[in-house]
Chain A
Amino acid sequence: MLREVAVVGLGCTGCRPTTPGLSYKEIMFEAATRAFEDAGVDPRCDIDNFITCAEDYWEGFSIFDEFVPDQLGAVLRQLFTVTADGLFGLATAYMLIRTGEFDTVAVEAHSKASDILTFADIVAFALDPIFNRPLGGHPFYIAGLEMNRYLHETGASREACAHVVAKNRKNALSNAYAAHGANITVEDVLESEQLFYPLSRLDISPLADGCMVLVLASDKVAGKLTDTPIWVRGVGWNSDTPWLETRDWGRSVDTELAAKMAYKVAGIRNPQKEIDLAEIDDRFSYKELQNLEALQLCRRGEAGKLTEEGATERDGSIPINPSGGLLGVGYTLEASGLQKALEIVLQLRGEAGKRQVPDAETGLAQVWRGIPTASGAVAILSNRSRGAT
């Protein structure tokens, strides 16, 4: 019988557009101390393994792995880096614990995006050097290509995308850790400067700094650490081809497959019925619609209409991104997925304050690794253990 795995602690700094007064190490220390206090553990003896999720080019260091033990309490202890979004780190922690060799694992991811002076150039550096990079231009045109084809194939409206922005920025106003809460209208979005047709400035998640840490534990110790363990019921991940030339631009196939994997692990047969709320990738407004469909939370071509009808509002039938999502909280690089998982944990604990979604039992977190990737991960969390349902 494989062990069950629960999130037993969380900590985050507030997300802020810029944090010039603190180093990335000091931000990590802040989030880590909060998470260990929340879990009631001493990282110097109680954590069996630490996972940090970081990409060298975001940090500006080669082999950034070496710079993380001190501020996580991981000196002379077990630590490794997953070069991917924090949700991949959470999936790795889940697997480590299920082996039976580890009882407690801490996962960290952060963004110090404000330290990066040439963000667009670094994203462009991720493009194919022979076929794509020489064409030049800001690489976010890739989002324009995907949005255009998605709207074309599904008939979702430009206005529905703008709706996503207005909803998420508004949700973020009730979230103390969000950087970009705002009262903006659908018209504001439509009238904002056009950048990568059909994408406008307000359709794009603004960057933010911040750090998230989650502590996971086996069922053997979770009950001793907390009265509100949030069980990881399933994880999934997937990658499509890097060829921009041959990708399916109308849908996110990697998200569809990552979701299928996570649902299978979690034993979920009817996601629309069994998922109560979700934090999904909304790096660009249309992604929320495309991902809703990829996650089978609605039928293909329905996401735009549902959004315009208000179904994805916090008090709607399927609340999406109650935290404010990446549009409202801010795009925190590799911490984006961990922010989504952290919000689901808060919601399922009933600790989401003003933005609490009532009576939620099972939630989903999903993230995309961003331009130019076609990689993503999904985690399903529940306040009911497998045995209880």
Chain B
Amino acid sequence: MSAKIKKYAGERIKTADLRAGKVPVVRWRPKVRYAWSTGIAMSRFLKELKNGKIIARKCHKCNRIVVPPRMYCEMCFRPTDEWVYVKDSGIINTYSISYLAADATRTDKPTVVAVIEIDGASKGIGIVHIIGEAKPKDVTFGMKVKAVWKPPKERTGAITDIKYFKPVEV
């Protein structure tokens, strides 16, 4: 309580009252829809995914090759200089095994999510994707993986044109 106000409005609500629908609420579902312009960097990246390729941008000042590509180098703060194709393979930087679906329900089949340092891009730079064709317990740091693409006809120019990355034998 404050010094000036001795009693605030309100009363204790019991769980039973909530369950019985005795506590009024107002429901609303907003209509919010967007169509983001992908711009120069993202549209080229998505177009190349449709072709089964991963493209990056290179900054001639710091010589970093960054993927996903952007038209400016965030470290040098200048425009990036050229398009560079990188490989559709890489190594696992870090990973997690997720046992929950997006709606927080438990799934029988856990999903392995990983940050994959892409071959041809600068050290520490890569993309986030799913690891498939591997038992979660076998996934490890530095593991070599390669993209498994959807068939060309099914690709839409989206990050999901790559179904997942799978371990490659070395």
List residues 22-45 of chain B with CB under 8 A from any CB of chain A.
26, 28, 30-42
Residue ID in chain A nearest B73 by CB atoms: A70
B146 within 8 A of A: no
CB distance from A30 to the nearest CB of B (A): 9
Contact with B along A55-68 (1 / 0, CB 8 A): 00100100000000
Contacts of B77 in A (CB 8 A): 33, 36, 42-44, 73
Residue ID in chain A nearest B75 by CB atoms: A75
A114 within 8 A of B: yes
A157 within 8 A of B: no
CA distance A57 to B41 in the complex (A): 24
B84 within 8 A of A: no
Residue ID in chain A nearest B39 by CB atoms: A23
CB distance from A372 to the nearest CB of B (A): 15
Contacts of B37 in A (CB 8 A): 19-24, 112, 114-115
Contact with A along B39-61 (1 / 0, CB 8 A): 11110000000000000000000
CA distance A22 to B44 in the complex (A): 12
Interface-side segment among A118-126, A212-220, A236-244: A118-126
A115 close to B74 (CB less than 8 A): no
A26 close to B40 (CB less than 8 A): yes
Residue ID in chain B nearest A45 by CB atoms: B77
**Chain A interface residue count, Cβ-Cβ cutoff 8 angstroms:** 33
CB distance from A133 to the nearest CB of B (A): 7
A117 close to B33 (CB less than 8 A): yes
A310 within 8 A of B: no
Contact with A along B63-75 (1 / 0, CB 8 A): 0000000111011
CA distance A25 to B70 in the complex (A): 9
B32 close to A69 (CB less than 8 A): no
CA distance A44 to B75 in the complex (A): 8
B76 within 8 A of A: yes
From A26, A29, A60, A130, contact of B32 by CB (8 A): A60
Contact with B along A86-123 (1 / 0, CB 8 A): 00000000000000000000000000101111100110
**Chain B interface residue count, Cβ-Cβ cutoff 8 angstroms:** 22
A387 within 8 A of B: no
B74 close to A70 (CB less than 8 A): yes
From B28, B30, B40, B70, contact of A21 by CB (8 A): B40
A129 within 8 A of B: yes
CB distance from B153 to the nearest CB of A (A): 27
CA distance A316 to B78 in the complex (A): 43
A71 within 8 A of B: yes
A25 close to B39 (CB less than 8 A): yes
A44 close to B76 (CB less than 8 A): yes
CA distance A112 to B41 in the complex (A): 17
B32 close to A23 (CB less than 8 A): no
Contacts of A23 in B (CB 8 A): 36-42
CB distance from B77 to the nearest CB of A (A): 4
Contacts of A42 in B (CB 8 A): 77
B30 close to A26 (CB less than 8 A): no
CB distance from B168 to the nearest CB of A (A): 32
CB distance from B108 to the nearest CB of A (A): 29
CB distance from A344 to the nearest CB of B (A): 27
A125 close to B32 (CB less than 8 A): yes
From A22, A29, A71, A118, contact of B33 by CB (8 A): A118
From A20, A57, A70, contact of B72 by CB (8 A): A70
> A60 and B34 in contact (CB under 8 A), knowing A23-B39, A70-B74, A73-B77?
yes
B31 close to A121 (CB less than 8 A): yes
CA distance A57 to B31 in the complex (A): 11
Residue ID in chain B nearest A76 by CB atoms: B75
Residue ID in chain B nearest A116 by CB atoms: B34
B35 close to A117 (CB less than 8 A): yes
CB distance from B169 to the nearest CB of A (A): 37
Q: Which residues of A contact B (CB under 8 A)?
A: 19-26, 29, 33, 36, 42-44, 57, 60, 69-71, 73, 75, 112, 114-118, 121-122, 125, 129-130, 133
Inter-chain pairs besides A21-B37, A71-B72, 10 sampled, C-beta below 8 Å: A23-B37, A23-B42, A29-B72, A33-B77, A36-B77, A42-B77, A60-B34, A115-B35, A121-B31, A122-B32
Q: Which residues of B contact A (CB under 8 A)?
A: 26, 28, 30-42, 70-72, 74-77
7 A-B pairs closest in CB distance:
A23-B39, A70-B74, A60-B34, A73-B77, A121-B31, A117-B33, A26-B39
